[in-house]
A and B are shown apart, each in its own frame.
Chain A
């Protein structure tokens, strides 16, 4: 994907939210450093997973890409075109190619509009008139996402959570986008429904060749959906790699700790994974630690970590495209064999 222009190219992306305070004149007393210098690319039809804990800036990143927020610094290029500070008019043609799927299917659909109106909304706004009329297209879309086209005139409250999320997917597909930013699309759904929506998104991605930025905190779901995965911590990417490299050979201590903390529905007499228990909580993004931001919870941290921020580079022993931001990366041998995806031993 490095040979051609990537669909989305993000470099040095930064967003600081000002904190207002003081009396009598309200001035800026500090900044929440939500996102701080992100670099990544998304190729055509590729799916990039963004994982991290709450407050790490993954949702802010999604909103910056879609330009729902104005970046403080850095650059966002879409198809080689700089859209970082593009105005409404310049953005209009691009907006129809970048769509978003939201987390809460109860809050993201207008309760007073019918399904037909909701799904045709993007076409109306962008003045798109597909052959055969908008209604025909909406019925097609409902069919694609596994809803009954007869439900065209129903209201959102008549649907269950999983079905509502399908409506959200249909709306995102209405303009045949090239990139969909999905912000925690399954975390509000019941366990038995999550798999339905994940399968639907996967089908959409593969059959329609749409690129995805898939934001989630569930590492197992991200692994299932994304070809490449970026792990975020306190506004920075600490590790980015192809799926198998990241899950099979995590080099950043945080990635390893995160993977080891995922509870799995397996019963083993001898635990295959060595559990890493992180101490404490994520520090405040208002005043993040100096140097490496993970150092306050890292068991390997030294003085160098406090003074020098580790760059996101290909550390020794990594495959190309596997970048890690750590002074003391983990070694491959330390990873239990059960982590690798082609392990023949049954997990249950």
Chain B
């Protein structure tokens, strides 16, 4: 990222989130750093258990402080959030930063009308009247494209379809014009045609308000559509960073490369079998030593001296681009060259 011209709005430095459980310490996030400027979208890609959701719950301070150990620093617009008081966080949540969750039905309260749930956040942060909150809710519903918002504002969540619920969630998240929006798999539960509608909506709203968006997903296709920059997570760590074009066209980490070559696309030749990543994601209770991807990596043996299993590769960024891998640039060029042949076409 070219952060010289603009101060990062959100800055995360060496974030570590550890949960203590009966079986031991789960290192859900293990040394993650990234910056985000206003008006940009950061896409975070990773499998279940890669730590992408935990990272974002920690930013909002939604983790359980009794069983969670958070190290590192999270600064939002110059304010430190790690260790901030609950009162301070409460003022920020829903106001300056907000979140859209994956499952809209379980995230909405079935006992309250949509309008009340949207207006509640607004009243809490602005202290306005009920009438004003209701008007604001109607305005928000209109903005996210719900037909007849004056009528639908009094509906309950069960009266909305899946896509409309997700729209209502977005309306709720945007009611105070947040500067940071975290969207955690907002379209995963939706059908493709509705997913396309929601992504268009987010893009329009970002253009209008200049919101910084963190978009979490496991779908590289969605990333290609919405993100400016991409962060690939594996086993609680960032393995690759770069702009969307850099990561998708020219992946540097074997995991990203593997993901791209294992995905069937609408242009993939049908007689060529898919090229899966062997094995399964690591347990974070007892993660592999060194590079966490090395037990599944096809290229681990090509690195001399067993470096992959003994030493953690560092993420070195040049202009916001880089990957955490022991392979040299020449080796990557040689091994990854067949991506175009095996995955893209």
A residues apposed to B, CB below 8 Å: 53-54, 160-163, 190-196, 198-199, 202, 217, 219-221, 223-224, 243, 247, 257-259, 261-267, 275, 277-279, 281-282, 338-339, 341, 343-348
Q: Please, which residues of chain B bring their CB within 8 A of the CB of A263?
A: 192, 195-196, 199, 219, 221-222, 224-225
- Beta-carbon contacts under 8 Å, B143-196 to A: 161-164, 191-196
A192 near B277: Cβ-Cβ < 8 Å? yes
Contact of A195 among B192, B225, B274 (CB under 8 A): B274
Q: Which residue of A lies closest to B340 (CB)?
A: A346
- List residues of chain B with CB under 8 Å of any chain A CB: 47-48, 161-164, 191-197, 199-200, 218-225, 244-245, 248-249, 258-260, 262-270, 273-278, 280-281, 339-340, 343-345
A267 vs B267: C-alpha distance when bound (angstroms): 14
In the bound complex, do residue A223 and residue B221 qualify as a contact, i.e. CB atoms below 8 Å apart? no
Is A348 a contact of B339 with CB atoms below 8 Å?
yes
Output the least CB separation between A18 and chain B (Å).
21
Shortest C-beta distance, A243 to chain B (Å), equals: 7
CB <8 Å contact, A223 and B262 = no
Q: Which residue of chain B lies nearest to A272 when distances are taken between CB atoms in the complex?
A: B267
**Contact partners of B219 in chain A: CB under 8 A:** 191, 263
B192 touches A264 (CB 8 A): no
A192 touching B47, Cβ below 8 Å: yes
Bound Cα distance from A89 to B163, whole angstroms: 44
Task: List chain A residues, Cβ under 8 A from B218.
Answer: 190-191
Q: Is the CB of A191 within 8 A of B262?
A: yes
Do the beta carbons of A265 and B192 come within 8 Å of each other? no
Question: What is the chain B residue whose CB lies nearest that of A340?
Answer: B267
The smallest beta-carbon distance between A200 and chain B, in angstroms, is 9
Q: When the two chains form their complex, are residues A265 and B273 in contact, meaning their CB atoms are under 8 A apart?
A: no
Tell me the complex Cα distance, A162–B279, Å: 9
| Closest chain B residue, CB of each to CB of A244 | B270
Contacts of B278 in A (CB 8 A): 196
Q: Are B259 and A191 in contact (CB under 8 A)?
A: yes
Residues of B within 8 A of A343 (CB): 267, 345
Least Cβ–Cβ distance between B265 and chain A, in angstroms: 5
Task: List the A residue with the shortest CB-CB distance to B223.
Answer: A265
Beta-carbon contact of A257 and B193 below 8 Å: yes
Tell me if A54 and B162 are in contact (CB < 8 A): yes
Q: Which residues of A contact B264 (CB under 8 A)?
A: 195, 198, 220-221, 223-224
Give the one of B197, B244, B275 with max A CB within 10 A.
Answer: B197
> Count the A-B residue pairs with Cβ separation under 8 angstroms: how many?
151
Question: Could you jot down 26 A-B contacts, CB within 8 Å?
Answer: A54-B162, A160-B280, A163-B280, A190-B47, A191-B262, A192-B47, A193-B277, A195-B275, A196-B277, A198-B264, A217-B191, A219-B192, A219-B266, A220-B266, A224-B268, A224-B274, A263-B221, A265-B224, A266-B344, A267-B245, A267-B249, A277-B196, A341-B269, A343-B267, A346-B340, A347-B344
Contact of B270 among A223, A261, A282 (CB under 8 A): A223
Q: A321 CB to closest chain B CB, in angstroms?
A: 17
Contact check, A53 vs B340: say whether CB atoms are below 8 A apart. Answer: no
Residues of B within 8 A of A264 (CB): 221, 224, 265-267
Q: A161-B280, A191-B219 are in contact. List 11 more A-B contacts (CB 8 A).
A: A191-B259, A191-B263, A192-B47, A192-B276, A198-B264, A199-B276, A223-B264, A263-B224, A264-B221, A275-B196, A346-B344
> Nearest chain B CB to A77's CB is how many angstroms away?
29
Pick the most buried of B196, B219, B273: most chain A CB atoms within 10 A of its CB. Answer: B196
A338 to B268, CA, bound (A): 11
Contact between chains at A347 and B223 (CB < 8 Å): no
A188 CA / B7 CA spacing, docked (Å)? 40
From known contacts A53-B192, A247-B266, A257-B193, infer whether A348 and B249 are also in contact, taking CB-CB under 8 Å: yes
- By a CB distance below 8 angstroms, the chain B residues around A266 are 224, 248, 265, 344
Contact A195 B277, CB 8 Å, known A258-B193, A263-B219, A347-B344: yes
Bound form: Cα–Cα A59–B165 in Å? 23
Q: Are B265 and A347 in contact (CB under 8 A)?
A: yes
- Expressed in whole angstroms, the minimum distance between the Cβ of A348 and any Cβ of chain B is 4
A223 x B276 contact (CB < 8 A): no
Nearest A residue to B224 by beta-carbon distance?
A265
What is the distance, in angstroms, from A134's C-beta to the closest C-beta of chain B?
A: 28
Q: Which residue of A257, A275, A347 contacts B267 across the interface (Cβ within 8 Å)?
A: A347
